[in-house]
Structure 1
Amino acid sequence: MVGTVAAVDLGATSGRVILGRIGDNELGLRQVRRFANDPVRVNESGLPALHWDILELYRNVIAGVATAVSDEPDLLSIGIDSWAVDYGLLRQGRLLQLPYHYRDGRTVPAVRAAHAAVDAERMYRTNGLQFLPFNSVYQLVADRLAGTHDLADQFLLIPDLIDYWLTGYAYAERTNASTTGLLDVYTREWNDELIAELGLHRRAFPDLVDAGTRIGTVLPEVALELGAPRSLEVTTVGSHDTASAVVAIPATTDDFAYVSCGTWGLVGVELDAPILSESGRAANFTNEGGVDGRVRYLHNVMGLWLLSESVRTWEHEGRTIDLTALLEQAATITGPVARFDADDPRFLPPGDMPARIAAYCAEHDQPVPRTPPEFARSILESLADAFANSIRLASRVTGKTVSVVHLVGGGSQNRLLCQLTADRTGLPVLAGPVEATAIGNILVQARAQGLIRGTLESLRGLVASTFEPTRYEPRLVRAL
């Protein structure tokens, strides 16, 4: 049996709708719409605030799925994934405010308030989550301090919010819910005690469902807008985009580490159970939920945001930047370049990235980059360092042997980054597929719809037989 489903993959800078035609020995992709996802900065009580333009995002989702339906009238299902942690608060079904962007700085006092109630060590033992100042738990405490949380009767993460608008059903998909910091790391249920200790309202948190749940059909008015039959279903996927990407790693053995590289670099290994060691907490590793109950034991690295925000700065200054040419020029640099800590929190907010990199280098007696190619090379060298360090730590803390690194997502197209990662780890890097997130989304939908069967390993086998990765061998062998 062969059928078609649509993956709606929403990233922090752009979204896409991709059709997947799939059966037991067939997997084909076709992008039908791509669109920008630009945040909106507004004044709130005299301070700038950064929000997602969720209504424009939804409009683009509808337009993209309508195109998918027009191209494939027998479309079976839609599945939505997005970045993690951000959410909408609703009251009686109505959105109370535009969802905040995770790069907004409102959580600084909320982090202090949260840890005054539950210290960092105990919180980690409870939720297994790495500390990031924008985790949903801190954002929700910020909403409580602002009085907004008290007004809400529903909390929906971004993919769940869009699914709610499509179907009328409110729920929380577990892989993304695991990034909130409010799930019990073992049971993967809402942690009622932690929610209460933080002064949050349990009533706002919806029922949890697993990836691969057939939620229901689209609402009649949505079907009309899409030009779709009322039988069109919405299926949950690994709605945290990294959870979907990890499904589509073309691994044929289990001794792999992964780097899902785009705006962020998510670096880690896959486990069957969480690890809550103090060494893992100190290294800021997280135990996030994966599809089929797996654990994504990983560390967030700042990712290609460093490069894209640098390019944005140069373009605002009036320079014309050709990214392909920039990377080619960066690859030709042979002299010493700065290697900085890509995890430094100064690099999180939007703004003049080259100035912040230059300041870091000056403070740490590193050669300060002067030209865009030098900055680009410095960024890629630093990311490769961060990827290798995270893989090394993940292997050490978990005891898992790593023999190969799978680098998927947009970063897999960056040949210099892939080669540098192989050089730093001393391991072969298998790069691709680029659209791993959409592929994982499609695979989970297809299995739920009965188009394919099998374990996560068999799904990966289908990816491995369909998409041949590019192999990068280390030029300098360095044992992990």
Structure 2
Amino acid sequence: MAEQVYLAIDLGAESGRVMAGMFDGQKIRLEELHRFSNGPVNVGDTMRWDVLRLWSQIQVGLQKAAARFGQNIVSVGVDTWGVDFVLLSKTGEMLGQPYHYRDARTRGVMDLAFQRVPRAEVFANTGLQFMEINSLYQLIVMNQTNPELMGLADKFLMMPDFFHWLLSGSRVVEFTNATTSQMYHPTQRNWSVEMLRKLGLPTHMLPEVVGPGTRLGRLREDVARRAGLPRLDVVAPATHDTGAAIAAVPTDRTGSGNWAYISSGTWSLMGLELPHAVLTPRALELNVTNEGGIDGTYRLLKNIMGLWLVQECRKSFERNGSPYDYGLLAQVARDARPFRAFVNPDAPEFLAPHDMPEAMRDWCRATNQEIPDTDGGLVRCALESLALKYRMVLGWLEELSGHKVEVIHIVGGGTQNELLNQFTANATGRPVITGPVEATALGNVLVQARTSGSVGSLSQIREIVRASCTMQRYEPQNTAQWNDAYVRFCELLKQPR
């Protein structure tokens, strides 16, 4: 077949890209056409997203795509992080500058919500883990502090859906991202309207939920004209970046339940792909989450703070006159003394600290551990702690699913951290297979290819990824030492071993 081109607009918390996926019927190749920065913008004492600047950069990327590929482009689709959203008025005006999930306004709001709807009832109605950043709590705060703005809201669009609206005029929310909101019912497969009304939230603004692979319409005429593109199909991939990444896990065990994944980046999303949500009391107790996946599957997973700790340490080191690239940072961590101290990566102290190294030292001090006193020691502490948290979460996933995990696939940018990959194999006692780095973009473009009819199934998507990408395998090492470290880690976190 002639090579077809699919465009992935992939927006992350630190950067965005416009990527081209070139598919020849057997293998897929990616080419980055345009990269641009992203991140919070401080407005007064709040943190916001500059979505208009992102839209401007997306259009630059579309212009580059038109110049590079022209009529060979089949479609375009957007994936982003979860939970955040834009509110539109009836006339299509954006209501306010959208908030960043790390904004402090939601601190403590979960307890207020549970006074109206008990925690167990919220979980039964959503299947989602409890995080103060979730859309539900953002809307509760907005309804309390800015009811006039909420009263003007006609459509609630999550981040990728907002950009799809800019591209095509569609006003729907795609399934995989809807499930990150803590407002979507996992068995009724629709918005949890009754629960939302109990919480005093308006529900008229909630749009239709569509599945990954849905054709949303054609590229707006004005957007196409400015970019020099034909009026392409706009297709919703799995719009949550983790959902897209898991679609591209190169497993040959689709449907078996005996493999786990870690989508590794700023956050680590560790989970299983299952046919349905797990809503048991034990799942509620462990605060796991059920997020939507491809073909109506659910991703039973746990959010773990991830390489955020290392990223923030690196920024602090640079501010203090010690710049590192990530390769050198891994080297000084490898050379540091092992198992000196651990932190809980998910402790609230690490969500948005003023200075990550100081926050880590404070945590070690409060738990009566040795305090890491070198840059390498701090990074090693972060990486060992992440690997041990992966082991803890893996045990929870096996318990909840009844499946024994035989192999762990790591995808995403974090696969480039070879030290963490090896630590993960060591800590869990399972072989680790890494790759692809660009899992999210691959999942995005291959879901589009399936919509066009060029790919037939999820299994075929994963077969194409295996044929197209380089993977690396890590076998467990030093398991006795890691077992001893895990005992200490569980004691620190006050969890059973």
TM-score bracket relative to the smaller structure: over 0.9
Secondary structure of the residue that 1:374 maps to in structure 2? helix
- 2:328, 2:263 → 1: CA distance? 24
Q: Is residue 337–residue 377 contact of structure 2 (8 Å, CA) maintained in 1?
A: no
- Deviation track 1:72-95 (CA, whole Å, cap 9, x = no partner) reads 102111110000000011112111
Aligned to 2:245: 245
Which position in structure 1 is the counterpart of 2:236?
A: 236
Q: Which is worse superposed, 106-115 or 400-409? A: 106-115
Q: Which residue identity does 1:112 align to in structure 2?
A: D
Matches within 5 A, 1:76-475: 76-92=74-90, 93-146=92-145, 147=147, 148-230=149-231, 232-253=232-253, 254=256, 255-454=258-457, 456-475=458-477
TM-score, normalised to structure 2, is 0.93
Once the two structures are TM-superposed, the CA of residue 350 in structure 1 deviates from its matched residue by 4.6
Structure 1 residue identity aligned to 2:118: D
- The verdict on how the C-alpha distance between 1:145 and 1:84 changes in structure 2, with shifts beyond 3 A counting, is same
Cα pair 2:219 2:234 within 8 Å, conserved: yes
Asked if structure 2 preserves the Cα contact closer than 8 Å seen for 1:113 and 1:141, the reply is no
Which residue is 2:491 aligned to? none
- Residue type matched to 2:331 in 1? E
SS at match of 1:73: helix
Aligned length: 474
- Return 5+ residue gaps in structure 1 as ranges: none
Looking at structure 1, the residues matched to 459 and 117 of structure 2 have their Cα atoms a distance apart, in angstroms, of: 38
Inter-partner Cα distance in structure 1 for 2:140 and 2:316: 32
SS at match of 1:131: coil
What are the equivalent positions in structure 2 for 1:25-104 lying under 5 Å apart?
25-43=26-44, 48-74=45-71, 75-92=73-90, 93-104=92-103
What amino acid is aligned across from residue 14 of structure 2 in structure 1?
T
Paired residue type of 1:119: P
Deviations 1:232-282 (A, max 9, x none): 111001100000000000001232100001010000111001111111111
Residue deviations 1:169-228 (CA, integer Å, cap 9, x gap): 110001000111111111221121112111111111111111001111111111111111
Root mean square deviation, CA, Å:
1.4
- Per-residue CA deviations over 1:115-148 (Å, capped at 9, x if unaligned) read 1111111110111000011110000101101113
8 Å Cα contact 1:23/1:452 also seen in 2? no
User: Given residue 382 of structure 1, which amino acid in structure 2 is its aligned partner?
Assistant: S
Q: What amino acid is the match of 2:430?
A: L
- Contact residue 341 and residue 364 of structure 2 kept, 8 A: yes
1:386-408 C-alpha deviation (Å, 9 max, x unpaired): 11111121011111120000011
The 8 Å contact of residues 353 and 359 in structure 2, kept in 1 or not, is answered as: no
Query: Which secondary structure state, in structure 1, belongs to the residue aligned with residue 324 of structure 2?
Result: coil
Q: Percent identity?
A: 39
The change in CA–CA distance for 1:161 and 1:405 in structure 2 (over 3 A counts) is same
Q: Alignment partner of 2:467: what SS?
A: helix
The one-character-per-residue Cα deviations of 1:44-70 (angstroms, maximum 9, x if unpaired) are xxxx11011111111111111221121
Distance 2:387 2:313 in 1: 18
- Paired position in structure 1 for 2:494: none
Given that residues 426 and 476 in structure 1 are in contact (C-alpha distance below 8 angstroms), is that contact kept between their aligned partners in structure 2?
A: no
Shift of the 335–210 alpha-carbon distance from structure 1 to 2, 3 Å rule, reads: closer
Contact 1:110-1:145 at 8 Å conserved across structures: no
Using the TM superposition, give the Cα deviation of residue 477 of structure 1 relative to its aligned residue in structure 2, in angstroms. Answer: 4.3
Measure the CA separation in 2 of the matches of 1:81 and 1:187.
24
Report if the CA contact (8 A) 2:14-2:38 is conserved: yes
Question: Secondary structure at the residue paired with 1:95?
Answer: coil
CA, structure 1 residues 196+356, in 2 after alignment: closer, same or farther (shift >3 Å)?
A: same
Give the letter for the 2:399 counterpart.
R
Structure 1 counterpart of 2:307, one-letter code: L
Query: Normalising by structure 1, what TM-score?
Result: 0.96
- Cα distance in structure 2, aligned partners of 1:7 and 1:351: 34
Residue type of the alignment partner of 1:84: G
Larger mean CA deviation between 390-399 and 318-327 belongs to: 318-327
Distance 1:84 1:302 in 2: 14
DSSP-derived class of the 2:249 partner = coil
